[in-house]
Amino acid sequence: MQSDYQFKNVLFARARLGEGPIWDSTHQWLYWVDIYNHHVNRFNPVAGETLHFDVGDVVGAIALAGTNRLIMAQRHGLTFLNLDNGEVIPIIQIEADKPNNRFNDGKCDHQGRFWFGSLSLGKPEANLYRYDPDGSLHLMETGLTISNGLGWSPDQQTFYLTDSPQQKIYAYNFDAVTGKISDRRIFVDLTGESFYPDGMAIDSQGNIWSAMWDGWCVICFNHEGKEISRIKLPVQRPTSCTFGGEDLRTLYITSASVGLSEEEIEKSFYSGDLFAVETNTIGLPSYSFNSIV
């Protein structure tokens, strides 16, 4: 098991809840969110420059959506963000009748459909949705607690979904043409561990890289769900990751400072910062939402 990956702190961000990184291969930029500070951030790793858009409310997930635009899963619905002027454009309200829910992680599949899930405080009433380019909304899974890290295998045969409090990563059969999922089974079971699987990235070999909340690390699992490597980090709460860089070999990792005590912050001084790790694998790209509406 490899554990000697070297991380680099690439942005002194001090985010409350950094999450949802995606890579813009056209501009070679990284977008990521700070959920509770209502920020969408854009980082240029070559120039070392960063800027943020204040989107006015919680933002859990983002995806590229055409030229100079992102699609966002905000507190109770979907919106577009115009990257030219920062305008937030409403698309659809969802779960507005569930005040204890908010939207969390999400990303686009290879066909340009946006998948996003909610989290539920208390009862397992969170859901997973798929929003298609034709404007149709589909309920894909129910009974979740925190719908989190998701992704697809390189051959488009398997869909993965994380439920963090349950400490499980699930696998489903995936029909790339219809977008349907079926036959849920446990892919990784971390029950009994002191940490929780959060956001994920998948590489071209089908390995799953999962950020471990309260685990000080990112763990890489092979396509059979076996741990094969671990990236140790100087922060208690890594939250998510994505592959970027010109060759998609750089793993960018977000982190959080929210909920940590003063003593924990002292031990985890760089909490909320953005990290990068040069890996020995090529990642899958961040796909875009192919809107026709």
- State which H helix or E strand residue 266 sits in: helix 262-267
Dist CA 281 CA 100 (whole Å): 39
Enzyme catalytic residues: 198
C-beta separation of 196 from 215 below 8 A: yes
Dist CA 172 CA 250 (whole Å): 27
Per the DSSP assignment, residues forming a β-bridge with 31 are 22, 42
CATH match for 7-278 among 2.120.10.30, 3.30.420.340, 3.40.50.720, 1.10.10.10: 2.120.10.30
**Sign of dihedral through CA atoms 18, 104, 258, 203?**
negative
Question: What is the CB neighbour count within 10 angstroms for residue 136?
Answer: 10
Per the DSSP assignment, residues forming a β-bridge with 2 are 229
Confidence at residue 293, expressed as pLDDT on a 0 to 100 scale = 43
Closest to 109 measured CA to CA, from 150, 164, 138, 137 = 150
Mean pLDDT by 10 residues, the chain (293 residues): 81 97 97 98 96 97 96 98 97 94 97 97 93 97 98 98 98 98 98 97 98 98 97 98 98 97 93 97 96 49
- State which H helix or E strand residue 264 sits in: helix 262-267
CA 145 to chain centre: 16
CB under 8 A, 24+ apart: contacts of 1-4: 1/227, 1/228, 1/229, 1/230, 2/228, 2/229, 2/230, 3/229, 3/230, 3/231, 3/232
Q: Identify residue 122 by its one-letter amino acid code.
A: G
Question: In the chain, what are the domain boundaries?
Answer: 7-278
Per the DSSP assignment, residues forming a β-bridge with 103 are 118
Confidence at residue 121, expressed as pLDDT on a 0 to 100 scale = 85
* Beta-carbon contacts of residue 269 (< 8 Å; ≥ 6 apart): 234
* Residue keyed to tokens 């709460």: 237
Question: Which two structure tokens, joined as six digits, stand for 130?
Answer: 């798929």
- State which H helix or E strand residue 125 sits in: none
Rounded to two decimals, what is the model's pTM? Answer: 0.96
